[in-house]
Amino acid sequence: MTDERAQFPLLSSSVGKAPLVYLDNAATTQKPLCVLEALERYYRRVNANIHRGAHYLSRLATEQHEAARQTVAEFLHAASPREILFTSGTTAGINLVAQVLTSSFKPGDEILTTTDAHHSNIVPWQMLCERTGAVLRPIPLTPELRLDTAAYEQMLNPRTRLVAIPCVSNALGAAHPVQQMTAAAKRNRRDTLVLLDGAQSTAHQAVDVQALGCDFYVFSGHKIYAPTGTGALWGREELLEQLPPWQGGGEMIAEVSFAGTTYNKLPFKYEAGTPNIGGNIVLAEALRYVQRVGLERIAAREQALTRRLYDGLAALDGVQILGAREGRGALVSIVVPGVHHYDLGTLLDHMGIAVRTGHHCCQPLMASLGITGTTRYSLALYNNEDDVERALSATRRALDMLR
């Protein structure tokens, strides 16, 4: 996709004298010109508050904001834009669900998440458990570092009220069988809720929430070429209608008096205060950009690069790759006995290679593996063969220096 690479201005920069190779896309992606221009255009030509203004700019901003909601709904194959709640990202979406579900839980109810879950898919459930007496249980991994689906199905029981699964592990890269796991949860108990964390998958593969069979789906805009502080939560309309609001204030109300308040209709019931109007509009621009490039084309390209990266790292002396070659997203994490991940990442940075080091907000996973962290290489649609080869060459040189 060399034609797309030119759309990302930051990729032409250098780190010192070395041209930048950006392989930290699982943390955040770079932004294409159409997104940068859309954000500037909004603030230059449209900027106004939405829904409550009678003047032209307010009407224009409102129209663009709600058109953006429609774009997100179509991207996720939601049944209605009323099912799309704008958030500041995956973390905010999960916290919203955890808050509004509080009254649905009682002591002894169980929540299942995964051993490789991001902290944002662990801590909000722990907080819910503290409020309600529910219990959080981690789904174990196999020796190959895949989710143990047999153990998962045995863990399902009449007390299981919620299953929260990442579609792709941000630390291991493993792509989880979320459709199969969702179906198993529903077979176990029809009213078991399933939340899917799409932070590491939405930019890399098509999403159809109807086909997935889940109840909630969350993703972050900044991992799919949109600005930081953007994202969305999809929830089934009948569920969102039944659940209480989270935050109170403007927009989420229908009528307020000191005697009581009636709440607004969906989706505004969950969007108190002034939203990130420009960010949400530009999130839709990023989704349209991804659709123009083509998710099937993106997936095929990224998978080819990921396999080359995996094979090249596996061939380096002493490098241990976490997880199997197949069935993974567009990232590879490594550990090198005797070499600290931070030292490796620092040397790579001096060579112009941007990777992520540390525990990747997955401390329970790292503890289960007996390590403190990894060096993670993650790809996006603009990466190419030269990026991969330069990263492999730099890694080889860095390891020679560190030994």
Residues annotated catalytic, as ranges: 361
**Residue 204 is encoded by which pair of tokens?**
């890399």
Give residue 328's Cα distance to chain centre: 15
Q: Where does residue 140 rank: exposed (0-12), middle (13-18), buried (19+ CB within 10 A)?
A: middle
Which residue reads 């403007």 in tokens? 250
Q: Which strands sit side by side in the sheet containing 135-139, from one edge to the other?
A: 84-87, 231-235, 216-220, 193-197, 160-166, 110-114, 135-139
Q: Output DSSP code: residue 78.
A: -
Identity of the residue numbered 287: L
What Å distances lie between residue 126 and 48, 175, 242, CA to CA? 39, 24, 23
60: CB partners within 8 A, 6+ apart: 46, 48
β-partners of residue 377 are 332
256: CB partners within 8 A, 6+ apart: none
What Å distances lie between residue 393 and 323, 337, 340, CA to CA? 22, 19, 19
From its phi and psi, is residue 4 left (phi > 0), alpha (psi between -120 and 50) or beta? alpha
161: closest CA among 103, 241, 88? 103
Q: Is the peptide bond before 244 cis (omega within 30 degrees of 0)?
A: no
Do 169 and 140 touch, CB atoms closer than 8 A?
no
**Residue 272 is encoded by which pair of tokens?**
């108190």
Do 391 and 21 touch, CB atoms closer than 8 A?
yes
CA distance 101 to 89: 19
What length is written for the chain?
Answer: 403
For 356, list phi and psi in degrees, rounded to 5.
-110, 140
